[in-house]
Each structure stands twice: as structure tokens, then as C-alpha cells.
Amino acid sequence: MCGIFACHKHPNVQGFKPTALQLSKAIRHRGPDWSGNVTSNKTILTHERLSIVGIDSGAQPLTSEDDTLVLAVNGEIYNHRLIRKSFGEKYKFKTHSDCEVILYLYAEHDIEAPKMLDGMFSFILYDSKRDRVVAARDPIGITSFYQGWNSSQPDTVYFASELKCLHPVCDKIISFPPGHIYDSETNKTTRYFQPSWWEPSRVPTAPLDLKVIRATLEKSVRKRLMAEVPYGVLLSGGLDSSLIASIAVRETRAGSDINGYDAQNGSNDHLVGIDDEGHLKTVRKYERLRSFSIGLPGSPDGVAAQKVADFLGTEHYNYTFTIQEGLDALRDVIHHLETYDVTTIRASTPMYLLSRKIKALGVKMVLSGEGSDEIFGGYLYFHAAPDKAAFHDETVRRVKNLHLADCLRANKSTSAWGLEARVPFLDKEFLEVAMGFDPQEKMIGNGRIEKWVLRAAFDTSSEPEAEPYLPKDILWRQKEQFSDGVGYGWIDALKDTAARVVSDEDFAKRGELWESDAPDTKEAYWYRQMFDEQFPKQCASTVMRWTPTWSKQSDPSGRAISTHVAKYESAES
């Protein structure tokens, strides 16, 4: 992931430039490879680069052939080769960056440009001829993005990848809505992403096709292997990450058949997921795909991840952390996450620690399994859904809020160390398929466990001579939330520590400190304290606290769901 910061119509942009560069420096962890900036009229765009594609020529901000358009982007555009080809010889590109196509999509299609993009992105584009800024975010909000204002400068607008760039200069900040584009000429933000499933009241009735589910997810993984740097997969041992790893292993292995692959040295000059003709292809950098997991010693996920790695033949790195190491990292985790949500902090801490280990190996991009539980109703509380309409409504709500929860975790936990996470389950085409069939098929019960659809799509037991994707006990393993799967002692330690550091007297007065969104547990109180110590009050409105529907519990842990308790008590007996 890269980092971007921009300011439009600043009353003294030259005087503000040193401050802008310092604010951009605050997110240099997102892009440690290079820094750039462009100032034009009353607008400044800055960029901190993590080079993944076009590494030799993709420094940003990017400019058009006549230098009238300036662009700063955080993200990856998977269909950039197709877009370039569609222009023919009309434009002269300056770089090999996948993001440069946005300049000319804007020139051709104005604010309709984001509709043509297939990828994850946040961008700010400045049109100097019209003194106009447009800013957009990918459909689901995989990349983090914020917008801010200062009441003393009513005509000025700010944008950044993280809050820490904005709160020193903005007294109003919002999380930029996913799937939207902002236009400074109209001062309006409009939704460009209009999938068939957006309105939860439109409950789909299409029949389920398991073959399409499988093929579309495989295609999604293939796209996300577009890279010119070492990559790997996050492997928790759960269903979602294990499937992504399995598909990636197959695609990496298939890459040896692509022309240009040097089997002796295990490398290739051009690693892409989509070729110039629009065909999906992959090539590999290593003989074996690297996979990574983390947990407390003997954790459920660590054991399962090793089993999956052995089955797939990945070069696996199974790291452990101590409870004290996790506790010591909490303040830094909250600094990078910019949230006080209990579930996000619990799960992000081991992911944050793992990301540092991965980056130390020289890996710059990883595939991850976020989004599946929201799409397929994989969280254990979905057992309590009263009917398919309510089930579907909840999946839509969860997908729409991913940018405030799991996408935020995946993006910022990895970006803290200059690592990029890509999430195949949130591919536009896959979402259209996975959210578009009768949700009765996703319902839990009558012999079906959570995410039955996804499991069945990749179950090859009835296909003669088919190579299995995963061991049966992994493919049909019950859901563990990541913060539970790394080891139950982790959550217990967080609760116990919070009980010691937050007094009963202070907890009783929480309503006096926070008039709205007051914490309902001592653990939540503790996180909110650490958040408030690092971020002023205008940042709190960007936070959403994760809570399960159809449940009265205050603890969002999957382990606290009665279904989990019943399942494991029966297994132990």
C-alpha cells in the first residue's frame, strides 16, 4: 500500500507546503520506497510509494502527457493492461505503473472513470485547466481513505490515507465512503458503484451455481498475483485463507508453463495476472509459494495452518508471539489502526506482529481472506438469523461496513510495515456472483454449517480424479474468529489486563467522559483511552464498533457465541 495526502484550494499553498510534507511523512510507513509531491495553483498532492508494479518508473504523483493532470493513487489496478490497450495510440504513457491509466480514463470519461477500474484504490486527481479535484475510493473500501475540512478555511478540502495526516489541520474528518467519487466543482460526493445487490430489500432469487462460485474466486486470485516483487499468502488455517492459499499454489505452479519463466533460476522479468490480450495468466517468482501464520504456542490456527501448508507444499513460516509481546504492542497497534473497536484491535495485534516478520523476509505483498464471512454469513451469530431476508440484509450491511472493520484491519496492520494485503473475496465480479443467488442457500441449519456454499464449491470428493483443494477436515472446519484462533489466552489476557488497569470507579463514570458511543466493557474503555491519548475528538466519528446482530452479548468474540460453546463442548465430551 502507498500513502497519499492532498490539499485543494489552500489560501497559502506555498507556505503550507512544508507542513504538507511533514503530514505526508507521518504515513511514510505505508510507502517507504519513495516520496513525491506536486504543487499547482492552490493545490498540493503528496505521495509515499510502496512499489509493487512498474517499480522502475512508477514514482508518483503521476502527470499526463501535457502535465495538466496530476494524480496520486494508493492501490492496484488489475485491468490496467486492458485499459491501456483500449486507448490504442491516443496517449503516450510515461511509466509502466498500473495506476497511470486513471489519468486518461478521466480525460475520456470524467467522473465516470472509476466505474471502469477493476482493483483496490483511493486516488486524488487534480485538473489544472479547470482547477478541479476529483477523489474516489474503491467499491468496498479495501484501501483506507479520509476527507477533512478546517472551519477557518471554508473553501479548502483535505484528503489522506490515514487520520494522522488530517487531524493536525482539520477539525472535521470523515471516512471517505467506498464506491463514491468527490467533485470539487460541484462539492458533491456521488456513488458510482451500483451492483445488483446494493439494496438489501431486493432479496435475490437466482439459483446457486457452485461451479461459477469456484471459477470466479479462482479468477479473482489470479488477478491479484499481478506483482513484480516477492509475494506470499496469509494462512490462518481457517477455511478462507486456506482456500486462497490453495488457489494461489495452483496458479503459481501453473506459471511455470508461461513463456519467459526461468525454471533454473526461479524468476521471471514480468510477473502479471492479466496479459496484454486480456487473458488471465500468472507466472511465479519462486518454486514454492510462501505462506505465513502466527499465534500463541499451540494455538488452534497454528496447528491447522501447518497442516494446510504441509498439504499444499508451501514454504511455510509459522510464527509465535507471547501474550506480553501482544500487550506491549497495543498502543502502537491503535496508533496505526486509528480505531478503538474491540474486535479490530484484538485481531489486528497478531496481524501487525506477523506483518513485521513478513516484511523482514523481503516480501512486499500478501493475499488475505477478508470478506468471506460477511459475504457468506460465516460468523457464528448468523445461526440466529430468523429468515433468508434478514440473513441477506445482514450480509449486505456487513459488506458495506467492511471499510470500518476487517478491511481497515487488513490494510493498516500490514501497511504499518510497508506490506500490501490483497483480498480476493472482495473482487467486484466475485461479489456480484456470491451476493446474487438465493440467500436460503447460505442459511445455517438442517445439516449445513456456516459457509456451506463456499465449502461445497471447493469440495472435489464427488469429482473423479480431481485434485482436492484442501484436506476434508480443513475444508469443513468450524469457524474461528482470528482473534480466537491465535490462542484463547490472548483474549483472556486482554480482559484480565483491562480489569486491572480500569478501576470500577472510572468505569462507572464512562458516560461523563463519552456522551455518545460510551464503552460497555472495561476492555473497550481501555482501548478508547489509548485512542483518545493519540487522536483528538474529531477522529472518533470515523470509528464503528463491531457488534453481532441477533445477540445480546457485549463480547464480540466468536467464542462467546452459544453455537461455538455447544460445538466444542460436544467435541470434548
Annotated binding residues = 98, 234, 294, 368-369
Strand partners, 120: 76
Sole residue written with cell 491509466? 101
- The SS3 call for residue 212 is helix
Contacts of 129 (CB under 8 A, 6+ apart): 68
Strand partners, 391: none
What are the backbone angles phi and psi of residue 146, rounded to the nearest 5°?
Answer: -135, 155
Written as one string, the DSSP assignment of 220-289 is: HHHHTT--SS-EEEE--SSHHHHHHHHHHHHHHHHGGGSTT-BTTTTB-S---SB-TTS-B----SSSS-
Task: Quickly list H helices, 224-322.
Answer: 239-254, 300-312
Per the structure block, which three cell numbers stand in for 263?
525454471
DSSP state of 196: T
> What totals of helices (H) and strands (E) does the chain contain, helices first?
21, 17
**Number of neighbours of residue 51 by Cβ within 10 angstroms:** 19
Rounded Cα distance between 537 and 101, Å, is 38
Annotated binding site for ATP: 234, 294, 368-369
**188 phi, psi to nearest 5 deg:** -120, 150
What HEC string does 15-69 produce?
HHHHHHHHHHHCCHHHCCCEEEEEEECCEEEEEEECCCCCCCCCCCCEECCCCCE
Which residues are annotated as part of the binding site for L-glutamine? 98
Cβ atoms of 317 and 292 closer than 8 Å = yes
Q: Under a CB-based contact definition with an 8 Å cutoff, are residues 125 and 117 in contact?
A: no
A 10 A CB-CB count for 357 gives: 16
507 CB-contact burial (10 Å; exposed 0-12 / middle 13-18 / buried 19+): middle
Contact 189, 136 (CB under 8 A): no
Residue with cell 487473458: 279
Query: Using an 8 Å Cβ cutoff, are 79 and 117 in contact?
Result: yes
C-alpha cell at 398: 456487513
Report helix, strand or coil for 290.
Answer: strand
b or e along 426-463 (b: 16 or more beta carbons within 10 Å of the residue's beta carbon)?
bbbebbebbbbbebeebbbeeeebbbbbbbbbbbeeee
Query: Which are the catalytic amino acids?
Result: 2
